[in-house]
């Protein structure tokens, strides 16, 4: 076989048919894709994996020994059925083959091998129908007799597999490719590799696929983790360099200007974190390159104030600032909040303008004209800001609120409406440090931890109504008691109508939590069902109850939220449309039904809607999930702490890192191979430092060709584009 490189096409290395199968199963296109399909674990030839606990319906690979073989004629149709019983010493599984009597020659009692198939059930026992298998050679068994210890130590890689491509088949293909692999340029500088005691790139690939013992496999994994971390961090820092190579118009704050006038009349002292983050943003806005900063902070920590001060600073030179929010409710809330903070003197000068898709056509045209002429120096809107018909006179600052609700394409579409505008990204979903380095490594990250003084706090309780059915009635009694005290109540539901046929969910219905053990298969409580229940509840007969959800028009939603904010509604039954930004100081209580259907961060966001004024907050997390399930763990974690940063770590542990490149940035699917942002924080930090040092002396990576090639292989066009738009 000719020498292969990691860039070699897979069909040229293993043949078109095999390459096509690997492409369909795993998306592989190159030799590098194949060799980065690492073993998920290793088995020893003497190891017997537990058959008794095989999961039904899953494709698995096991090591076992043939114990019994039988062949019989089938009754219902012509032909024979071969049944082979294999055992691991603790359990048995039956292999069935139709009309294949020739397998009797191979599958004799006493033969050992690797068996791969989808676990089925027949007459109460586990079964593989037509499994793939590879038997150990008799020579191996004889060698084992001569040297049982060495035979037992020999490791067999077990690969992530599918029903169509078994683990042992992947091993055969990888062995074929490894035998023809040419030496690889190392992405790690020699000095770094020597300092950390790591392997060369070629050695690491050989040892992870063909380890003689666990120590060799561990060292190979450690080396390849550092490869991943260094490649990712270098690519992110290169993107930061690219942004800093762009030129931006400096936007200084002027003595006696808008920002100074705003600060002079501010009725409260800014928190130390608000002051520090504001100073950093102020410095960014006068730098010769565009600002690219992420500000994260707890719900109610004052991110809106920080963003408004940045808007005022760019407005001093005639620049416009555009804030894009994920919902019309939140956009309207931002407009009212900012107009109130600006006051009667500054608001007319800056003319804060709302632009959303649900506005009446005439009103929207007027708003668009104010934006296009530059008369509106603060513009707040939803996706309508991205419309081709929306133009700006001088877009100087883009503010993205709740960044996780927008894809990079949408953020880039707004930035493209200006000439290298500054960008400020806000999130109330705290991000663990290692995630910030891997997902937002090309942004400068600032954190607001200190909260404004005087907040009364929130108490949170789990109501496990499956175990304690009486608590369901108590939840509604407790909510009614809060209304009797003069306070207001949110009730959050996971759906609009639990009884409606599943035609497709509104955006505010989609739960973030995956379906796992302990969660019901369908929603029981929608906005419609709760409204019907409270309509006949004696405690609610005199209360003012309203509903709010994503299928209402923008005008309807805005009218309901205004009425709730003005105290004209006692109980608001809503979907997650109220998740972010809704500010009603008199709201004291939040009831979240089927709380286990939401993610940890989403529950924390929802809870942040209460306890925002002088009234203490109460959050009741109603769940039917069973104890000690992931679903219940999420809910209990939220009830235990108000620390969003601690909850972000819990959320990361429960949900996985997600696809840290491209548009998808959360969930169980991860584009990382071996690197884990929770357990490998020290590796990521070290790689960040090394990447900074490398780029400082060699920004084009001309002396680090192996690293440049690894980045080129690792980041496809889509991922490169996504990083460029973060």
* pLDDT score, position 131: 84
* pLDDT score, position 141: 52
Least confident of 13-27, 492-506, 564-578, 687-701: 492-506
In angstroms and rounded to an integer, the radius of gyration of the C-alpha atoms of the chain is 30
* pLDDT score, position 405: 55
pLDDT exceeds 80 at position 664? no
What's the average model confidence in pLDDT over 683-705? 93
pLDDT exceeds 70 at position 502? no
List pLDDT tens digits, range 617-628: 999 999 999 998
* pLDDT score, position 659: 43
Strands 41-44 and 155-158: antiparallel
Question: What dihedral do alpha carbons 304, 306, 309, 315 form, nearest 10°?
Answer: -70
Q: How confident is the model at residue 399 (pLDDT cuts 50, 70, 90)?
A: very high
**Angle formed at CA 622 by CA 641 and CA 430, multiple of 5 degrees:** 35
pLDDT exceeds 70 at position 581? no
103: tokens are 């397998």
* Euclidean distance between CA atoms 472 and 148, whole angstroms: 62
DSSP label at residue 514: P
User: How far out from the chain centre does Cα 39 lie?
Assistant: 24
Q: How many CB atoms lie within 10 A of CB 263?
A: 13
Cβ pair 330, 389 in contact under 8 A: no
pLDDT exceeds 70 at position 604? yes
User: How far out from the chain centre does Cα 724 lie?
Assistant: 19
pTM score of the predicted model: 0.65
Cβ pair 290, 420 in contact under 8 A: yes
* pLDDT score, position 519: 43
* Euclidean distance between CA atoms 565 and 612, whole angstroms: 12
Q: Which of 60-64, 418-422, 425-429, 555-559 holds the top average pLDDT? A: 418-422
Residue 620: phi and psi, rounded to 5, are -110, 115
3-state secondary structure of 157: strand
3-state secondary structure of 187: coil
On average, the pLDDT of the chain sits at: 84
pLDDT exceeds 50 at position 566? yes
* pLDDT score, position 49: 57
By CB atoms closer than 10 A (0-12, 13-18, 19+), residue 77 is exposed
* pLDDT score, position 516: 39
Q: HSE of 53 in the Cβ direction (CA atoms, 13 Å)?
A: 3
109: tokens are 């009692």
Least confident of 90-104, 393-407, 421-435, 659-673: 659-673
Q: How far apart are the first and last CA of the chain?
A: 43
Residue 425: phi and psi, rounded to 5, are -110, 130
* pLDDT score, position 376: 95
What's the average model confidence in pLDDT over 384-401? 91
Of 333, 603, 600, nearest to 458 (Cα)?
A: 603
174: tokens are 């990888």
The percent of residues in the chain predicted with pLDDT above 90, rounded, is 49
Residue whose tokens read 């005022």: 312
Which stretch of DSSP H or E encloses residue 118? Answer: strand 112-122
DSSP label at residue 574: E
Go through the domains of the chain in sequence order and give each one's CATH number: 10-182 (2.40.50.140), 258-448 (3.40.50.300), 458-641 (3.40.50.300)
* pLDDT score, position 582: 65
Residue 113: phi and psi, rounded to 5, are -175, 180
What's the average model confidence in pLDDT over 185-193? 95
Cβ pair 353, 370 in contact under 8 A: yes
What's the average model confidence in pLDDT over 57-86? 85
**Angle formed at CA 597 by CA 634 and CA 330, multiple of 5 degrees:** 100
* Euclidean distance between CA atoms 397 and 418, whole angstroms: 8
Q: How confident is the model at residue 717 (pLDDT cuts 50, 70, 90)?
A: very low
List pLDDT tens digits, range 245-285: 888 899 999 999 999 999 998 888 899 999 999 999 999 99
Buried b (16+ CB within 10 A) or exposed e, 545-559: bbbbbbebebeebbe
By CB atoms closer than 10 A (0-12, 13-18, 19+), residue 489 is buried
* pLDDT score, position 651: 75
């Amino acid at each position: 076989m000719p020498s292969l490189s990691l860039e070699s096409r897979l069909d040229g290395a293993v043949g078109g048919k095999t390459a096509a199968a690997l492409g369909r199963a795993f998306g592989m296109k190159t030799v590098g894709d194949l060799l980065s399909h690492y073993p998920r674990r290793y088995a020893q030839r003497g190891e017997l994996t537990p058959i008794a606990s095989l999961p039904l319906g899953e494709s698995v690979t096991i090591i076992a020994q043939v114990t019994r073989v039988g062949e019989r004629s089938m009754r219902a149709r012509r032909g024979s059925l071969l049944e082979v019983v294999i055992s691991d010493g603790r359990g048995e599984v039956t292999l069935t083959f139709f009309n294949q009597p020739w397998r009797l020659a191979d599958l004799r009692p006493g033969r050992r091998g690797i068996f791969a198939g989808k676990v089925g059930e027949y007459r109460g026992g586990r079964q593989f129908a037509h499994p793939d298998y590879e038997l150990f050679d008799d020579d191996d068994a004889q060698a084992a007799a001569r040297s049982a210890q060495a035979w037992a130590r020999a490791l067999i890689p077990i690969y992530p597999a599918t029903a169509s491509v078994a683990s042992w088949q992947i091993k055969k293909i990888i062995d074929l490719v490894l035998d023809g692999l040419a030496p690889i340029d190392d992405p790690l500088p020699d000095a770094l590799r020597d300092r950390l005691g790591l392997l060369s790139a070629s050695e690491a690939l050989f040892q992870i696929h063909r380890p003689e013992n666990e120590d060799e496999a561990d060292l190979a994994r450690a080396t390849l983790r550092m490869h991943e971390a260094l490649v990712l961090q270098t690519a992110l820092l290169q993107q930061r360099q690219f942004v800093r190579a762009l030129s931006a118009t400096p936007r200084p704050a002027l003595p006696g200007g808008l920002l100074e006038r705003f600060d002079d009349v501010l009725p409260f002292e800014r928190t130390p974190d608000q002051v520090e983050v504001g100073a950093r943003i102020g410095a960014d806005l006068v730098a010769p390159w565009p600002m690219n900063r992420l500000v994260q902070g707890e719900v109610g920590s004052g991110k809106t104030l920080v963003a408004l001060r940045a808007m005022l600073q760019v407005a001093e030179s005639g620049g416009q600032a555009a804030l894009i929010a994920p919902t019309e409710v939140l956009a309207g809330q931002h407009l009212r909040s900012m107009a109130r903070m600006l006051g009667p003197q500054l608001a007319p000068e800056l003319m804060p303008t709302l632009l959303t898709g649900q506005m009446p056509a005439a009103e929207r045209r007027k708003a668009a004209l104010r934006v296009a002429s530059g008369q509106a120096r603060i513009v707040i809107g939803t996706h309508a800001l991205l419309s081709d018909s929306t133009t700006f006179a001088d877009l100087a600052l883009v503010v993205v609120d709740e960044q996780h609700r927008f894809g990079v394409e949408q953020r880039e579409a707004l930035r493209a409406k200006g000439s290298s505008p500054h960008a400020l990204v806000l999130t109330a979903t705290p991000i663990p440090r290692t995630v910030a380095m891997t997902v937002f490594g090309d942004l400068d990250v600032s954190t607001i931890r200190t909260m404004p003084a005087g907040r009364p706090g929130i108490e949170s309780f789990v109501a496990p109504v499956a175990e304690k059915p009486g608590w369901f009635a108590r939840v509604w009694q407790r909510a009614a008691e809060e209304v009797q005290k003069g306070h207001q109540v949110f009730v959050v539901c996971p759906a609009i109508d639990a009884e409606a046929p599943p035609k497709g969910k509104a955006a505010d219905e989609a739960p973030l939590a995956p379906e796992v053990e302990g969660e019901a298969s369908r929603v029981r409580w929608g906005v419609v069902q709760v409204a019907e229940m409270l309509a006949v509840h004696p405690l609610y007969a005199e209360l003012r109850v309203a509903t709010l959800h994503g299928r209402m028009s923008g005008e309807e939603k805005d009218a309901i939220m205004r009425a709730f904010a003005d105290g004209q509604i006692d109980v608001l039954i809503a979907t997650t449309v109220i998740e972010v930004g809704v500010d009603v100081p008199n709201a004291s209580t939040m009831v979240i039904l089927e709380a286990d259907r939401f993610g940890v961060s989403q529950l924390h966001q929802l809870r942040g809607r209460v306890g925002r004024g002088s009234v203490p907050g109460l959050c009741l997390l109603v769940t039917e999930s069973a104890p000690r399930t992931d679903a219940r763990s999420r809910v209990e974690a939220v009830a235990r702490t108000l620390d969003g940063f601690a909850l972000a770590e819990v959320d990361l542990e429960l949900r996985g890192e997600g696809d840290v490149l491209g548009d998808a940035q959360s969930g169980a699917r991860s584009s990382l191979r071996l690197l884990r942002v929770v357990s490998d924080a020290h590796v990521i930090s070290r790689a960040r430092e090394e990447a900074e040092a490398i780029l400082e002396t060699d920004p084009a990576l001309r002396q680090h060709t192996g690293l440049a090639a690894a980045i080129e292989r690792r980041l496809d066009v889509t991922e490169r584009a996504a990083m460029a738009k973060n």
